A and B are shown apart, each in its own frame.
Chain A
Amino acid sequence: MLGLFLAVCLCGVLIPQVSNSSASTFASWQAKSPYSYQLVVLLQLNRIFTSYWFLLLVVFLLLAIGISLHGQFKKACSAFNTKPSGKFTPQLTLRAGQFPADALRAAWAKKGYKTEEWNNGSALLLNFYRNRRNVWGSFTFHSGILVIAVASLLTFAYQKQGFVQLIEGDTFSGREAGFLSASKGILAGVFEPAFEIHLNKFSHSYWDTGELKEVKSELTIDRQGSAFQASLVRGQSLSVYGVDIYQSANFGYAVKISLLTDKPGEEAVPTYFSLDMAPAGKPLVGKSDFPTTDYLLDMNFFPDRNGRSLYPVNPFLQVRFLTGEREVGSAVLKPGEEVLVEKSRFRFEEIRPWSGLILTENRFIPLVYGGFLINALGVFMIFLFVPQEIYISAAAEKDGIFTVAVAVRTKVGRKILLDDTIEALHKLLDSETVRG
């Protein structure tokens, strides 16, 4: 099962996936090799990690882990309740001129071992042990994986996420229709946060290297008349009435263009065009229909005529008016300037920044975090707090020499533990190895 999961992951990185490849990649693939492309689409290999067969595989993995956990639980319970009998098979025998039991007890106590001992008159058996009761590591580790996998499936089914493009001064209604885009789990209902978001102010700042330093939205959250203000920066979410709000890395400027009318009593038709931020010196670009007209506007917006600043210090808009493929007009406008295209007059009114907000609702996140915690705890229990037992028995011979039998029990590093034990014994007992 593990191997199969591994193979699927490998396919996921070797075959281009919808989530991380551009549409043109798939278009050129389809053009080059239509049959292989069709096969990939049919088998959902271009979106492996959200395919039904992958989900089925995760369910099988869950079942396999569940069955394994049942066995591990029984095994751990029995190991937990087992009391040491004092029986062991010697792995090495030493001959020593002395057997200072107290010094041995002190030496291993210093290393953090506890001691248990048996004395049957002719021989003394010392049992040094640590982490003996730590038999739950494997069970804990696999339980963590089970919890993570269950939480992931629940997330896949119920998570709601939406992206809001909010111009400074505007309000998001809290309705699903207000999202620019939304993605929801297969069993998730309507995503309508029960509050409105008003963008009071949006700011972006840069390091001296030109890289983004901070993106900040100052918001007013209003829930049925009960409003509060909050600041949102990238990397730090805001949790509001069960919905997490994140500052997106997508932001930019919205240019307001109005279609003017000469008829008395009729108002101008204003439209905001939200353009994505571009690096310094490059224009913010966009192509969009102008509502109520047949015109397609091809825009290049420069925040700074000198190309130095990313803020609108000296802005202008380069715009082409198209009907179909035909250019019917073009202009370079500063805010407040107008252009006549055929019989229509357009005015470049103003510029306002827009901010991207990501809203998510996932009730199962605590379960995911819990799974990570259990999993990490389990892995540490298995490998860093390993149960170790050292058996040392000494029997006095007639000539005053002691025969010392040694054995160690551990799942991780048995040879290392045995070697360390022998080395310590040689120092303490002034002994020699008889047989290994």
Chain B
Amino acid sequence: MESTTLLKIEIILHWLALFVYIGAAVCFVQGVIFKKEKSFSVGTNVFLVGLLPHTLALLVRWFYVYHGPYLSKYEVLSSNAWVTVVMFLFFSHRYPKIRFSGMFLAPFAFFQVAAALFASAAIKRFPSSFKVPWLVAHILFNKLAVGAFLIAIAMMIAYALKSRGSKMPSLSRLPDNEGLDEYIFKFTAFGFCFWTITIAAGAIWAHESWGRYWGWDAVEIWSLITWLLLGGYLHLRLFFGWKGKKGMVVLTVCYVVSILTIFFLPFLVNSLHSEYFK
């Protein structure tokens, strides 16, 4: 089959996934408005249904561009959304209490797919000899970290609404603020673990590829800043007991910087990394 035909199929699949994710978000919102608990489990299942065309779309693209989905804004955003949804489904199966955070996570997923669809789907390629295991590790762990951070952010929104005394009935089914605070901490720590591997694997790959493991490149520095900030929060939380609102303020700063680093900076600054995001 020709690559133009495959591109059309892939875009249709992406649009399908987008609409299904919007459907999932509608289910979650319906659960909130009409106080229907069933809507939340329907929303989770709809998410699962949306994952099917999304997975197919990414596989089709992988098949005809000969590399994983990480080389353009289109691929990066779509695969980030995919990992986020997979991680949400996995963790909501393991910890059913966090299932309700899907109402905040669904918009993240469909906004990313939508942004991907409005970006150029043109194929980008890079030297085939770059495809080494360290690059795969660098990208894979980065996506896992992004997924964990987005789940934590979704729960932070729930935490903020709960602490402001929101009357949303669905929020009452979430763990209490202390429990939510611990889930947020857990997902942040989880993301931090993978962010650490991302930096380490990236440094090793850089050394294997062009002879330097750290070049103080803008994206490198920002990812180090993110790591230091998150490390600072985890220290404060573990060793100084900064729980609750005090910890949340620090974490908000951490996530604002993380979002900038992950979603905006590679597209804005001149960096070795940004070549692959444009």
A contact residues vs B (CB 8 Å cutoff):
2-3, 5-6, 9-10, 12-13, 17, 19-20, 49, 152, 161, 207, 209, 211-215, 233-237, 244, 246, 248-249, 358, 360, 365, 368-369, 372-373, 375-376, 379-380, 382-384, 411-416, 419
Contact = CB atoms under 8 A, between A and B. Distances in A.
Given A209-B125, A419-B175, A413 B130 contact: no
Given A213-B128, A235-B127, A416 B228 contact: no
Contacts of A379: 192-193, 196
A429 to B, nearest CB: 21
Interface residues of B, number: 52
Contacts of A412: 182, 185-186, 189, 238
B169 interface: no
A147 B213 CA distance: 15
A120 B215 CA distance: 63
Contact of B179 (A214, A376, A419): A419
Interface string B195-212: 011001001100111111
A9 B189 contact: no
B210 A2 contact: no
A234 B221 contact: no
A373 B222 CA distance: 22
A332 B123 CA distance: 37
The 5 closest A-B pairs by CB, nearest first: A372-B200, A383-B189, A235-B130, A235-B129, A233-B129
A2 B193 contact: no
Interface string B221-236: 1101100110110010
Contacts of A237: 208-209, 211
Given A6-B229, A358-B210, A369 B204 contact: yes
A384 to B, nearest CB: 6
B242 interface: no
B179 A3 contact: no
B245 interface: no
B161 interface: no
A221 B69 CA distance: 38
A414 B182 contact: yes
A298 to B, nearest CB: 28
A212 B125 CA distance: 8
B163 interface: no
Given A235-B209, A372-B200, A3 B186 contact: no
A211 B185 CA distance: 43
B-side interface mostly = helix
B216 A2 contact: no
Contact of B183 (A244, A246, A416): A416
Contacts, number: 132
Contact of A209 (B123, B192, B211): B123
Contacts of A372: 200, 203-204
B153 to A, nearest CB: 18
B179 A383 contact: no
A375 B196 contact: yes
B163 to A, nearest CB: 16
Q: By CB atoms of chain A within 10 A, which of B197, B221, B228 has the most?
A: B221
A365 B218 contact: no
11 contacts: A9-B224, A20-B218, A20-B271, A237-B211, A246-B211, A358-B211, A376-B197, A382-B189, A383-B193, A413-B186, A416-B182
A246 B183 CA distance: 45
A246 B206 CA distance: 11
A237 B212 CA distance: 11
A391 B231 CA distance: 31
Contact of B238 (A411, A416, A419): A411
Contacts of A152: 214
Interface string B151-190: 0000000000000000000000001001101110110011
B221 A12 contact: yes
B211 A236 contact: no
Contact of B125 (A213, A383, A411, A419): A213
Nearest to B237: A412
Given A49-B216, A235-B132, A246 B209 contact: yes
Contacts of A416: 95, 175, 179, 182-183, 186
Contact of A12 (B192, B216, B229, B232): B216
Contacts of B130: 234-235
A47 to B, nearest CB: 10
B93 interface: no
Contacts of B95: 416
Contact of B182 (A244, A376, A415): A415
Contact of B211 (A9, A12, A211, A244): A244
B152 to A, nearest CB: 13
